[in-house]
Amino acid sequence: MRAVIQRVARASVKVDSEVISQMGEGVLVLLGIEASDDPEDVEWLSKKIVNLRIFDDGEGLMNESLLNTGGDIIVVSQFTLHAATKKGNRPSYIKAAKPHIAVPLYEAFIKQVETDLGKKVGTGIFGADMKVDLLNDGPVTILIDTKNKE
């Protein structure tokens, strides 16, 4: 799994001009799933994200996690995170998992984050044409790949 984690002041997701998720301060997660991902990746990534100390403490240092701040999360599926761009100018998405693999892992990830965070998580709609609006706070943007554990 690959994730782009963005600390945001606000974020929302629209499908067909309808807002389906919105939040204030927290984290927007763009999640890419590949065929070799499994439940261990789901659990590891969820725990990593909810415990990331990327929010300012009282002294202005990034020492607080979502668990400390009570911030929210929106998770949006994004197969393009697995784009291969080595050959030519048209990205290949061959490493991105097909829906029959990706959808159950995406849903498992959402449930795991809700368990780890202790509250409901906003989402996009898998496979939909979504419009994601966000105000990146910092900006703080972190890339995590479960295959590299970094």
- Whether residue 150 is contained in a domain is answered as no
Q: Is 78 a catalytic residue?
A: yes
Beta carbons of 13 and 130 less than 8 angstroms apart: yes
Say if 47 falls within a structural domain.
Answer: yes
pLDDT digits (tens, 9 = 90+) for 117-142: 999 999 999 999 999 999 999 999 99
**DSSP string of 74-135, one letter each residue:** EEEE-GGGG-B-SSSSS-B-TTBPPHHHHHHHHHHHHHHHHHHHTS--EE--TTS-EEEEEE
Options 78, 112, 123, 146, the catalytic residue: 78
Three-class SS of residue 148?
coil
109: annotated active-site residue: no
CATH code at 65?
3.50.80.10
Answer yes or no: is 120 within a domain: yes
Question: Total domain count for the chain?
Answer: 1
| Residue 150 confidence class, pLDDT cut points 50, 70, 90 | low
Is residue 111 in a domain? yes
- pTM for the model: 0.94
| pLDDT, position 149 | 79
In a domain, 58, yes or no: yes
Range of the domain at 135: 2-145
SS3 60: coil
